[in-house]
């Protein structure tokens, strides 16, 4: 097991998926992940991740254990995406096709 914030694979990939994982990081951890995404993305790579629908923090429950969730505001995600060399292809808030998750699909420039 490893910590996604410390990922350093010395490789670039055509696709990066942070599904049902990224939103368990706190706000600062999420902001820092965009540099990790950028280092691992080939030109034109797709990045897909899911977040909460709005800025905030919550403690949920998973099989009787507390589970932390955090999300930034959509505008901040857009800014981080752009500053890290990606562009947003699609963003759907609470997408019913994805089980109600808020989905981001991006492409590296």
Q: Could you list the residue range(s) of the whole structural domain that residue 41 is in?
A: 14-46+54-89
Q: Is residue 97 part of a domain?
A: no
Q: Is residue 105 part of a domain?
A: no
Q: Is residue 102 part of a domain?
A: no
Q: Judging by beta carbons within 10 Å of its beta carbon (0-12, 13-18, 19+), is residue 65 exposed, middle or buried? A: exposed
Label the pairing between strands 101-108 and 65-71.
Answer: unpaired
Q: Residues 84-106: what's their mean pLDDT?
A: 97
Q: Residues 57-71: what's their mean pLDDT?
A: 95
The pLDDT tens digits for 5-62 are: 999 999 999 999 999 999 999 999 999 999 999 999 999 999 999 999 999 999 999 9
Q: Is residue 19 part of a domain?
A: yes
Q: Is residue 58 part of a domain?
A: yes
pTM to 2 decimal places: 0.93
Domain count, the chain: 1
């Amino acid at each position: 097991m490893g910590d996604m914030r410390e990922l350093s694979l010395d490789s670039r990939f055509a696709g990066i998926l942070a599904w049902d994982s990224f939103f368990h990081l706190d706000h600062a951890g999420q902001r820092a992940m965009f540099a990790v995404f950028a280092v691992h993305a080939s030109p034109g790579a797709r990045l897909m991740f899911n977040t909460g629908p709005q800025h905030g923090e919550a403690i949920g429950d998973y099989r009787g254990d507390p589970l932390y969730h955090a999300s930034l505001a959509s505008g901040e995600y857009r800014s981080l995406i752009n500053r890290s060399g990606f562009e947003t292809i699609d963003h759907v808030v609470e997408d019913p096709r994805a089980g109600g998750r808020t989905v981001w699909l991006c492409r590296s420039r």
